[in-house]
Amino acid sequence: MTQRGLLIVLSGPSGVGKGTVRKAIFEEEGVDFQYSISATTRQPRPGEVDGVDYFFISEEEFKNKINNGDMLEYAQYVNNYYGTPKSFIDQTLDSGRDVFLEIEVQGALQVKSKMPEGIYIFLTPPNLTNLRERLVGRGTDSQEVINKRVDAAREELKMMINYDYAVENDEVSKAVERIKAIITAERLRVGRVVEKTF
Amino acid sequence: MTQRGLLIVLSGPSGVGKGTVRKAIFEEEGVDFQYSISATTRQPRPGEVDGVDYFFISEEEFKNKINNGDMLEYAQYVNNYYGTPKSFIDQTLDSGRDVFLEIEVQGALQVKSKMPEGIYIFLTPPNLTNLRERLVGRGTDSQEVINKRVDAAREELKMMINYDYAVENDEVSKAVERIKAIITAERLRVGRVVEKTF
């Protein structure tokens, strides 16, 4: 029996560098994840290939998929729909291959509600740890500014608690190493090893 | 506030190579675990240092520690007691340092019942995965011998399900890398990162 692949979800606040980290992971030697391909109702741009860049589908087909529960998450931008089809991910995982999904926070939470077995990784901006101490130590900001920055960071980090792991993106190569360690460890979880052994 | 260290417990069937793997981990650069020091009632041998090789204590003191709940696990061999004192581990963890405990399976389960927050790693012999297929493929063993070997492996692996992770000891260096990845990943668990951030 083929062991089901892992669903790895990389998310985090906008501007944190999710895309850069994801690209760096895919360039690593020995990494063979299937990137989760989105579906969209917009027209392909020159050079874009159906089933590679996106699944290009009609609005009717998209709405059918929503109604059938085949969209793990979706959103509408400028009259076009974008979403993550569940069937593609399921088929890939069933074939034993791992799927990597890079997605913003709202989408990640929707995916998690439908596929809680995934590994949810939150990419954080650098230097969140001990933010207040460092701002105070720097001595350049007023108490009010410091409070505002700490409050903003706190709001951002409230999203973190819905995830399994938090990875600081201080350097792309370090973030990549951390994510690789997480995936290695998850493959060694006893439940997965027992499944593979018998 | 100092973040509490991790308790890392390495266990597995006898003969699997726990000691060798533990020694190799402690020789790794950048590893700064406190090795969990056992208490014993036996006399120190020449060269053995109290608080380094063992905590050498009297039988009365040992029994007091059992009664006070300060022995995470203990056993008696040849009229001497051996055990793992909880207070030493707690103090080390509270100081922010990680503690590494190498222990046989019975002891590990006792420790787990008292410190479930630890990370429990089961070291497995190589080649347990798909054992039956490989024995059949080899074509040298009778069906009866194959069944016996698979049953024996199955019994051994039943212990595994009490652990968080299973690491195959096919090569010491590979086992060490896997254990290091597990520890890296555990430090990135959201609960621990949130604790460190605020």
Tokens 């060269």, residue located: B47
The mean pLDDT of B79-92, rounded to a whole number, is: 95
Ligand-binding annotation for B125, yes or no, is no
3-class secondary-structure state, position A73: strand
Checking if the pLDDT of B164 tops 70, the result is yes
Q: What is the pLDDT of residue A16?
A: 85
What distance in Å separates residue B47's CA from the closest CA in chain A? 39
Q: Which residue has the higher pLDDT, B184 or A150?
A: B184
Q: In sequence order, what are the beta bridge partners of A81? A: A76
State percent of chain A over pLDDT 70: 96
* C-alpha angle B92-B93-B98 in degrees, rounded to nearest 5: 95
pLDDT digits (tens, 9 = 90+) for B32-62: 899 999 999 999 999 999 999 999 999 999 9
Q: Is the pLDDT of residue A176 over 90?
A: yes
pLDDT greater than 90 at residue A2: no
Q: Report residue B126's pLDDT band, with 50, 70 and 90 as the boundaries.
A: confident
pLDDT at position B166 = 95
Question: Stretch A46-74: mean pLDDT, rounded?
Answer: 95
Answer whether residue B140 shows pLDDT above 90: no
Determine the pLDDT at residue B130: 67
The residue type found at A189 is R
Q: Which residue on chain A is closest to B132 by alpha carbon?
A: A198
Assembly ipTM = 0.84
What values do phi and psi take at B3, rounded to 5?
-80, 135
- Looking at the predicted structure, is the pLDDT value of residue A197 above 70? no
Q: Reply yes or no on whether the pLDDT at B6 is more than 80.
A: yes
Work out the average pLDDT over A110-125. 95
Asked if A167's CB is within 8 angstroms of B197's CB, the reply is: no
Flag whether B174 is marked binding.
no
Arithmetic mean of pLDDT over chain B: 91
Q: How many Cβ atoms are within 10 Å of B178's Cβ, its own excluded?
A: 24
Distance, CA of A76 to CA of A34 (rounded, Å): 25
CB distance A185–B190 less than 8 Å? no
CA-nearest residue of chain A to B184? Answer: A181
Please tell me which of the candidates A124, A128, A189 has its beta carbon nearest to residue B164.
A189
Contact assignment for A182 to B182 by CB distance below 8 Å? no
Per-residue tokens: B131: 């054992």
pLDDT tens digit string along B93-110? 999 999 999 999 989 999
Which residues of chain A are within 8 Å of residue B167 when distances are taken between CB atoms? Answer: 188
State the Cα–Cα distance between residues A89 and A83, nearest whole angstrom. Answer: 12
CA distance A182 to A100: 13
b (16+ CB within 10 A) / e for A41-62: beeeeeeeeeeeebbbbeeeeb
User: Which range is least confidently modeled, A24-28, A150-154, B74-78, B173-177?
Assistant: A150-154
Sketch out chain B's domains with CATH numbers: 1-33+98-198 (3.40.50.300), 37-97 (3.30.63.10)
Q: Is A83 annotated as a binding residue?
A: no
| Nearest CA-CA partner of A168 in B197, B142, B128 | B197
Instruction: Please tell me which of A9-23, A109-123, A131-145 the model is most confident about, judged by mean pLDDT.
Output: A109-123
